[in-house]
Structure 1
Amino acid sequence: MMGRQVAQGALFYGFRLDDHVPSDHLLRRIDSVLDLGFVREALAASYSASGRPSIDPEMMLRMLLVGYLFGIRSERRLCEEVHLNLAYRWFCRLDLADRVPDHSTFSKNRHGRFRACDLHRLLFEQVVAQCAAAGLVAGHDVAVDASTILADASREKRLKGADAADKLRGRDTVSRPVAEYLAALDAALPPGPDEPAPVEPASISPTDPQAALTCKHGPARYAYAINPLLDLDTDCILDVEATPARFAAEVAATRTLVSRAGTRLGIAPASLSADKAYGSGPLLGWLIERNITPYIPVIDRGRQRDAFFTRDAFSYDREADTYRCPADKPLSYCGTNRASQVRVYRSRPGDCAACELKPQCTIGRKRGVTRLVSEDARDAVRALAGTDAYVQAHRRRKRIERVFGHLKRNLGLRTLKLRSLAGAAEEFTMAAAAYNLQLLARQAAPT
């Protein structure tokens, strides 16, 4: 006889959430390694000792982790999923009868208590410390790269960079991202004597002014860049930094990542691998000064000159600090351009006037050649190219692309839901923490 399921409400139920979460479920494995004991101590100053108890901040942080682990980008939908999913409820320490917080609670705490103590950064560093304790941090060979994440800003609405700040200040009311942008402008320090002046963007989004307009992947879009520092031996993300999607900002983030890894984790890598975008002389010199071998292709524009001898046709005499032209005439040092960080060498007019090779060299009275202040570092890195260590590092560096693929495909980090550089930093830090937690849970899983 065909059966029929009839729903009959019972007066009492014997039900335990723990019995309904499989032993091999991702959240159960992560819960076994997750330590959020720091949360209450970090937020203690933000709560009163009396009054009505608030929503548990540790529970909110667990809910946010669920969102990043399972690619639930909307916090409104996250609350619905936690309400319905038994495993999510179990991980967030919510019983069947407990109410799930309203989605607006996250926004209020994000821009208040959480951001005031940089809770998301504390979580990430706690997870990295646990990875180090589990042997997932070697810290010997690292890699850095940047990947573009679209901002929540329309490319159709733009302000010219030259007068954008004045127009934004002239508004009666400004949004939080605009206020943060203006505050960053006011707090910015002028460049030092040896630092180039910052390049002013051609256009700025009135919705999210700190995002950068980029054409890296098709039509121009406003975006940020996620910059992770990856341990090539374990695939653990040692640190992460958010920047506008500009090459200059991404390269500058490398110094921040390496310095912070040394200060907070005690990591002094032996080598750093990256693509050619990071092959600028100042960065290579900075790495070599810290005894970090840069396995990075050198940016070389020495041959970008038509019709005349290029710079590689001139030989450099290190002891005499002079160049020798193809006719074996000297080009002497004339001074250093601090803005562009180049040393200038020029020939004598008399040598050029009587030279048979002048039509192939210059149309002026004398020929000049420039040498970067960091050229010695560039030469040292050029000598590494083609070695077995360089080839192996270049191959291993591509492991970071798998990390980007996992963050975007599995964790849903394709478009940002938060605005401003602080919002991008929060999302990138939480996504990196979720990635490392999965790595840690996989390491702790029984075989």
Structure 2
Amino acid sequence: MMGPRQEAQPALFYEFSLEDHVPQDHLLRSIDRFVDLSGIRAYLADFYSHTGRPSVDPELLIRMLLVGYCFGIRSERRLCEEVHLNLAYRWFCRLDLSDRVPDHSTFSKNRHGRFRDSELLRHLFEMTVARCIEEGLVSGQRMAVDASLIEADANKQNSTPKEEWDARQIDPAYAPRAVREYLDSLDEAAFGAASEVQPKFTSHSDPASQWTAARKGPAFFAYSDNYLIDTDHGVIVDVEATRSIRQAEVGATRTMLDRVRDKFHLYPERLIADTAYGTGPMLGWLVDREIAPHIPVFDKSRRSDGTWTRADFEWDAGNDQYICPEGHELKQFRRNYSDPKRGPTSTGRAKYRALKLTCQACPSKAKCCPNADARSITREEHENARQVARDISKTKQYEISMKLRKKVEMLFAHLKRILGLGRLRLRGPCGANDEFLLAATAQNLRKLAKIFPAPQKPRTA
């Protein structure tokens, strides 16, 4: 028969425990085992005043932010509502049922102040990396790097063409925060100094973002999220925010490799990346540091007319010359110069030429230089490093590396699809950096929770 109507009956006393109402297999139980924020208060002690009204516990704010980024809750206003309602979120944030959830404005106040001044989010991310190393998830032998475009909180309607934008007319005292950060980043290698080429449009609300059409579709304003990962378990060992151009992304790779070396003493034996990182200077930088570049060479020497390319010529390092398929020599100089200024040029390139008489009489001239009197080949400054990368590309280890490179792409897919970071909510270089650091921290914590889940307690009858 139909049971009685369910009605809430008020009680005088309640016995309630959050610990009993959070499932044993909940993700936050596994994550909580790897979140040690006991040193946060001491880390931020110098950034708080010794007088005045007591502030919100910074550990509480960090735990709430971790909940938001682990579960794709991008809005801080909505995050406060979810923590207020969700028992598991309250348990993770160390809030009892009667405890008040901080107001959403508290996050902005701390983020633009002491959190950025102390680089707390960078410190938090490095704490998770150190925990991954401690748990044996990072060997540091094989690393992969890549960048992904993240749409900025800007649109074309509120932008100016490059010929109308003049940063010198902006008064920083009256400019918005994102504009002041843009002015401060004009000399940084990851932003203003990355390239002399000015973007076609500049956003008024977030001028540091890059106008780009790299997705082969409608152009938009974006930042690049750069990941350096250890390929053993796909742990993110460093993250950097840059402009969405190749020069800035390649420069971020050097910054991240130097940073993990200084911070965690990680010296990778190989670096895995795509063709965008296969430029001569980048390959030379890696070879000089004894890092094997498992990277396709960025090479524009190939010809489309069917004639011989530079790869068809043999390099004779001992005699500083090229040998053509017909056995003829291409030399840079055919006599010694007493004046050193007449030697190799300072542009980083050297040109090797064959004799005109030799080429004119050669039966393979039509395959080599049909439109020139003699064949010439340009050798780049870092050609030796490029050759090292070409030799590596013929090995079995290179094939394995190309498969491992997909791990960093999978992390970006997880970042956008699961964590919901397809578009930035914060503006300016600092805002982009904050979001990327928190998202990478959440991904590493979820990785730890997946590999080392919390032990399940037997249910009581």
TM-score normalised per structure 1: 0.90
Supply the distance in 1 between the matched residues of 2:195 and 2:320 (Cα, whole angstroms).
Answer: 29
2:384 maps to 1:376: yes
Deviation digits for residues 88-118 of structure 1, max 9, x if unmatched? 1111112212221111111111110000011
Give the AA of the match of 2:206.
D
| Paired position in structure 2 for 1:311 | 310
- Does the aligned pair in 2 maintain the 1:18–1:90 contact within 8 Å? yes
C-alpha change, 1:41 and 1:161, in structure 2 (3 Å) is farther
Question: How far does residue 138 in structure 1 lie from its aligned partner after superposition?
Answer: 1.3
2:339 maps to 1:331: no
Equivalent pairs, count: 440
Supply the distance in 1 between the matched residues of 2:178 and 2:71 (Cα, whole angstroms).
Answer: 27
- Does the aligned pair in 2 maintain the 1:325–1:331 contact within 8 Å? no
C-alpha change, 1:229 and 1:387, in structure 2 (3 Å) is same
| Paired position in structure 1 for 2:204 | 206
The DSSP-based 3-state class of the residue aligned with 1:386 is coil
Supply the distance in 2 between the matched residues of 1:109 and 1:433 (Cα, whole angstroms).
Answer: 19
The DSSP-based 3-state class of the residue aligned with 2:332 is strand
What does 1:92-111 align with in structure 2 at a 5 Å threshold?
92-111=93-112
Unaligned runs of 5+ in 1: 190-194
Question: How far does residue 246 in structure 1 lie from its aligned partner after superposition?
Answer: 1.3
Give the AA of the match of 1:290.
R
| Paired position in structure 1 for 2:45 | 44
Supply the distance in 2 between the matched residues of 1:196 and 1:265 (Cα, whole angstroms).
Answer: 27
Give the AA of the match of 2:278.
G
- Does the aligned pair in 2 maintain the 1:17–1:90 contact within 8 Å? yes
- Does the aligned pair in 1 maintain the 2:84–2:101 contact within 8 Å? yes
- Does the aligned pair in 2 maintain the 1:316–1:323 contact within 8 Å? yes
- Does the aligned pair in 1 maintain the 2:313–2:325 contact within 8 Å? yes
| Paired position in structure 2 for 1:386 | 394
| Paired position in structure 2 for 1:159 | 160
The DSSP-based 3-state class of the residue aligned with 1:121 is helix
| Paired position in structure 2 for 1:414 | 422
Question: How far does residue 139 in structure 1 lie from its aligned partner after superposition?
Answer: 1.1
| Paired position in structure 1 for 2:119 | 118
What does 1:7-46 align with in structure 2 at a 5 Å threshold?
7-46=8-47
Give the AA of the match of 2:58.
P
| Paired position in structure 2 for 1:192 | none
The DSSP-based 3-state class of the residue aligned with 2:183 is helix
| Paired position in structure 2 for 1:343 | 350
Worse-superposed segment, 204-213 or 164-173: 164-173
C-alpha change, 1:377 and 1:175, in structure 2 (3 Å) is same
Match of 2:448 among 435, 440, 444: 440
| Paired position in structure 2 for 1:256 | 255
Q: Percent identity?
A: 49
C-alpha change, 1:203 and 1:4, in structure 2 (3 Å) is same
C-alpha change, 1:338 and 1:65, in structure 2 (3 Å) is farther
Deviation digits for residues 265-290 of structure 1, max 9, x if unmatched? 11001111111121111111211111
The DSSP-based 3-state class of the residue aligned with 1:3 is coil
| Paired position in structure 2 for 1:81 | 82
| Paired position in structure 2 for 1:426 | 434
The DSSP-based 3-state class of the residue aligned with 1:145 is strand
Supply the distance in 1 between the matched residues of 2:73 and 2:84 (Cα, whole angstroms).
Answer: 14
- Does the aligned pair in 2 maintain the 1:337–1:344 contact within 8 Å? no
- Does the aligned pair in 1 maintain the 2:225–2:436 contact within 8 Å? yes
What does 1:247-326 align with in structure 2 at a 5 Å threshold?
247-304=246-303, 306=305, 310-324=309-323
2:228 maps to 1:220: no
- Does the aligned pair in 2 maintain the 1:138–1:234 contact within 8 Å? no
C-alpha change, 1:355 and 1:24, in structure 2 (3 Å) is closer
